[in-house]
Chains A and B, each alone.
Chain A
Amino acid sequence: MSVFFFAIAAFIVIAGGIGVVAARNIVYAALSLLAVMVGTAGIFLIGLAEFLALVQLLIYGGAVVIVILFALMLTRIQDFEFLSANKHWPLALIVSISFLVLFLISILVNKRTITEMSGVDISELGLTLFADWAIPFELASLVLLIALIGAVVVVRRDNEENR
């Protein structure tokens, strides 16, 4: 039964991914990205990671796609219509397919046969995060703070700039 739901979520993810790289209109690409994020949250639920499914919906579906759409709103959106791939797209397709073949070979060679799944208790996850990984956690918060301050500094208009 979970294979059925996994197939639905995987179809949403792959169709959305193709939509992101093939859409002509950038807003359609952003909405396809939203479909990918929601599908990935479904995959996380099937993979017994309930907390991360929630985080995925909140951060990617809520924040990331909205930030991209907001940035498109702040620019003139008609400049982004009718996007085309660059002239090297057959080369990109060859590289992508050869990576896919490489991944498929390595997956099929190292096939593991564990079939029982087991989730992680959310309190266990919190304890690990705040006990064993406390310093990386604090560093991550510092990275977020510096990145956001840097983003504000980069987009702020200079005073002498009268546009």
Chain B
Amino acid sequence: MELIYFQLLAAILFCIGIYGVLARKSAVLILMSIELMLNAVNINLIGYAAFSSLGAAHKNLGQVLVIFIITIAAAELALAMAIILRLYRNKNNVNVDELDILKG
């Protein structure tokens, strides 16, 4: 195994996520694409943690960071799904290119 496999996989997954965020219409799918990008970052961090040549005191910082990313991602997803449900209830529509109620 080499570090570059983890890096390549993370890069490909991150770019798939970028495409999803930019190209999809539905807010739910944009949210899923953001989850893909967060997963790519987690894969990268796990790769760096596994191949790190640092001592034991610094070696598990990568995994600690992944734990925090998972926590924040869960909080973000709960809030975003709540907003999407509310939007659906009020507007019957979650396509982001048709939502312009904030436009002045």
Report which A residues bind B (CB closer than 8 A): 2-3, 6, 10, 13-14, 17-18, 20-21, 26, 29-30, 33, 36-37, 40, 43-44, 46-49, 51-52, 55-56, 59-60, 63-64, 67-68, 71-72, 74-75, 79-80, 83-86, 88-89, 91-93, 95-97, 99-100, 103-104, 107, 111-120, 124-125, 128-129, 133, 136, 140, 143-144, 147-148, 150-152, 154-155, 163
Contact A86 B24 (CB under 8 A): yes
Report which B residues bind A (CB closer than 8 A): 1-9, 11-20, 22-26, 28-29, 31-33, 35-36, 39, 42-43, 46-47, 49-53, 56, 59-61, 63-64, 66-68, 70-79, 81-86, 88-89, 92-93, 97
Contact A10 B9 (CB under 8 A): yes
Specify the main secondary structure of chain A where it touches its partner. helix
Specify the main secondary structure of chain B where it touches its partner. helix
Q: How far is the CB of B101 from chain A (nearest CB, A)?
A: 16
Q: How far is the CB of A161 from chain B (nearest CB, A)?
A: 9
- Count of A-B contacts judged by CB separation below 8 Å: 226
6 contacts between A and B (CB under 8 A): A21-B36, A68-B28, A83-B24, A140-B71, A143-B72, A151-B82
